[in-house]
Amino acid sequence: MKFTTTAVLAIAAFVESATALGKARVVNKCPFSITLWSVGSAISQPTTLAQGGSYGETFSRDPVTGGRAIKVTVQPDGLYTGKPQTIFATNLEGNTIWYDLSDVFGDAFNGHKVVVSSANTACPQIVWGSGIPPAGSQVKNCGADKDVTLTLCA
C-alpha cells in the first residue's frame, strides 16, 4: 500500500495530537489513605492511595456519558455506602479540557485544604481552603495538553 505525503502528514499529526493529551491526576498528601474510582459509563476497580501516593489517567471522552469523574472517599467502600465523596470531573472537548470539583453526601475533606491546579499557570485553580466547596460555579478549562492535578490536604 502506498501513502501520499499528505496522508502521511495527516496520520503523523493525528498521532501527535493523540499523544499530546494531558492527564487528570490525584495526589494524596493527607495523613490517611484515600480510595478513588474512575467513573464514566463504567466504574473502575478501586485504587487506594496512602499518604504521598498519586494516580493519573489520560484525558478521554467517554462515548456514553461524555465526561469522566474521579470519585474520592476516605472510606475504602465509600462509593457504595453513601459516604462523603469529592468528585474531580473532566470533559474533553477538542483541544480543551473542562474540569470541576464538587462534593456529594457531605464533605470528605472537611478541615483539609483541597486544590486543583496545573503546572501551567494559565490554567485556573480551584481552591477549597477548608475542604468545603465555596458557593458558585467551580467549572474551569485549560488546554487539553496540560495535566490538571487534584491535591488533597495541600
For 46-86, how does the pLDDT look when each residue is reduced to its tens digit (9 = 90+)?
A: 999 999 999 999 999 998 998 999 999 999 999 999 999 99
Supply the mean pLDDT for the chain. Answer: 90
pTM (2 d.p.): 0.86
Question: In this predicted model, what pLDDT tens digit does every residue of 15-58 receive, in sequence order?
Answer: 444 559 999 999 999 999 999 999 999 999 999 999 999 999 99
Does residue 13 sit in helix, strand or coil? helix
Q: How sure is the predictor about 13, in pLDDT bands with cuts at 50, 70 and 90?
A: very low
Q: Convert 85-110 to b/e letters by CB count within 10 Å (16 or more is b).
A: bbbbbbbbeeeebebbbebeeebbbe
pLDDT value at residue 14: 52
Name the residue type at position 116: V
Question: In this predicted model, what pLDDT tens digit does every residue of 128-139 receive, in sequence order?
Answer: 999 999 988 889
Q: Which helix (H) or strand (E) holds 60?
A: none
C-alpha cell recorded at residue 80: 457504595
Q: Which domains does the chain have, with CATH numbers?
A: 22-152 (2.60.110.10)
Report residue 28 CA to chain centroid gap.
13
Q: How sure is the predictor about 2, in pLDDT bands with cuts at 50, 70 and 90?
A: low
